[in-house]
Each structure stands twice: as C-alpha cells, then as structure tokens.
C-alpha cells in the first residue's frame, strides 16, 4: 500500500495552520453528494480508479466520468469565487 494512506485526511483538516486552498477544497468536498464526496476523498488519498470502483460499487469508467465532472464543477466554482474577490 501507499505510504500516504496510513495518514488519514482528517490530519490535514485538524491542523490549525491549514492553507486557505486546502480549507476551500474541504468546504467544497463537504457540499458534494455522498458518492461524489467519497470518490473525491479516495482520489485525494491516492486510490486508483479500479480501487475506487471496487469500493463504491460502480464501474471504472463511471468513476472517471464522475471525477471529471467533479473537477470541472470545482474549477468553475473556483473561477467564480476568484472573480468575486477582485
């Protein structure tokens, strides 16, 4: 197994000096639908699409489609929020 799997993502969230980008990411991940949230956290934890598909019970191709849509959605949200901050 990969080394970073031994370190839970919660450790990143609990740090008092969390970078603003990480905070933003976790806020947006928390707003996702349960399956999308699970896929995102598995991706951040280094799981392969195959491992994610086995864990969630969907096909590898569906994992890829969902991940792609999540990335597009988050990129769009980031761009909209950056525009409002200026």
For residue 59, what are its two tokens? Answer: 């096909």
Q: Of the candidates 33, 65, 70, 38, which has an alpha carbon nearest to the alpha carbon of residue 54?
A: 38
pLDDT digits (tens, 9 = 90+) for 52-75: 999 999 999 999 999 999 999 999
The pTM of this model reads 0.72
Full residue range of the structural domain in which residue 73 is found: 3-85
Residue 36 sits in a domain whose CATH number is: 1.10.10
Burial class (CB within 10 angstroms; exposed 0-12, middle 13-18, buried 19+) of 82: exposed
Distance CA 81, CA 49 (A): 29
pLDDT at residue 44 above 70?
A: yes
As a whole-number percent, the residues of the chain with pLDDT over 90 amount to: 58
Which is more confident, 8 or 78? Answer: 78
pLDDT value at residue 14: 53
For residue 76, what are its two tokens? Answer: 């769009």
SS percent in the chain: helix, strand, coil, step 5 = 75, 0, 25
Total structural domains within the chain: 1
pLDDT at residue 25 above 70?
A: yes
* Buried/exposed 54-81: b ≥16 CB within 10 Å, e otherwise: eeeeeeeebbeebbeebeeebeeeeeee
């Amino acid at each position: 197994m990969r080394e970073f799997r031994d370190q839970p993502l919660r450790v990143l969230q609990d740090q008092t000096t969390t970078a603003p980008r990480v905070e933003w990411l976790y806020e947006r991940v928390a707003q996702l639908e349960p399956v999308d949230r699970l896929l995102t956290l598995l991706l951040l934890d280094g799981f392969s699409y195959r491992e994610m598909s086995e864990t969630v019970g969907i096909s590898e191709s569906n994992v890829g489609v969902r991940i792609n849509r999540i990335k597009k959605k988050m990129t769009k949200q980031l761009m909209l929020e950056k525009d409002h901050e200026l």
